[in-house]
Chain A
Amino acid sequence: MSIAFYLIAALTLAGGLAAVLLKNTVHCALALTVAFAGQALLFLDLDAQFAGFAQILVYIGAVAILVVFAILLTKGSETPKGSVYSRHSFAGLVIAAAVFAMLGWAVIHSVAAVPRGPAATPSVTVLDIGNALMSRYVLPLEIVALLLTAALIGAVIIAMHEKERAK
């Protein structure tokens, strides 16, 4: 449990907290980007380089920008009048705390199924990932391709301006 892990975990959690606590929506989106970057660093700490770089490319390069565009298109960048928390926010906090308590208890009190020594670093090359994608995981790959096409067309249709009814 190196010092790097603690620092990166602190960065990710700080980004996540800022993303749900700040008042200004654009600041929340930027804090979310910091959380994504911290997550990518955690992946790199876990020797999952491909997943880490894919996280940066997809989440920071696309999802964060998408969130920011949506905020601007829905006039979310103005400071909101009144509270930013909904009326039932206390129940939400209680539920989230209960979920964390349950998950934390499960993690701390679980015993490893097979006691193992310190794990060796798996050497995973992009070649292995490519081979796996084309042999064992080819069906999920094709389904994800279909899903992304459907999502692309669907998002365009949903967000498109409707044609004027009356001339």
Chain B
Amino acid sequence: MTPLAGFLLVAALLFSIGLAGALTRRNAILVLIGIELMLNAANLNLIAFWRYGPHPEALTGMMFAIFSIAVAAAEAAVGLGLVIHLHRHAHTTDLDAMNRMRG
């Protein structure tokens, strides 16, 4: 197995772990934790392809990963702000209890 395939498998496993977490947990914050794991897996993919692909001096993969880190931070901030607002409204973060569009 080439080094690239090793990194890609690790990234795929991390992605599916994050996906499983986002789909199976009740707490809204744990869904966000799963999303962060998925974003990390994607970043790992980007950097692995940058390193083992042609033209690493063009820095495309590294730039993409850096911008992805910045955007993920912004998305985490807004997402957690939403969770806090939701908690203020529904007095719970249990997603199974929020199965109605209104109220």
Contacts and interface: CB of A to CB of B under 8 A. Distances in A.
Contact of B95 (A16, A74, A86, A104): A86
Interface string A109-121: 0001010100100
Interface string B70-89: 11111111101111110100
Interface string A95-137: 1110110011001100010101001001010001100110001
Given A32-B36, A70-B29, A74-B29, A144 B70 contact: yes
Interface in B39-85: 40, 43-44, 47-48, 50-52, 54, 56-57, 59, 62-63, 65-67, 69-78, 80-85
Interface of B: 1-3, 5-10, 12-27, 29-30, 32-34, 36-37, 40, 43-44, 47-48, 50-52, 54, 56-57, 59, 62-63, 65-67, 69-78, 80-85, 87, 93-96
Interface of A: 1, 5, 9, 12-13, 16-17, 19-20, 25, 28-29, 32, 35-36, 39, 42-43, 46-48, 50-51, 54-55, 58-59, 62-63, 66-67, 69-71, 73-76, 80, 83-89, 91-93, 95-97, 99-100, 103-104, 107-108, 112, 114, 116, 119, 122, 124, 128-129, 132-133, 137, 140, 144, 147-148, 151-152, 154-156, 158-159
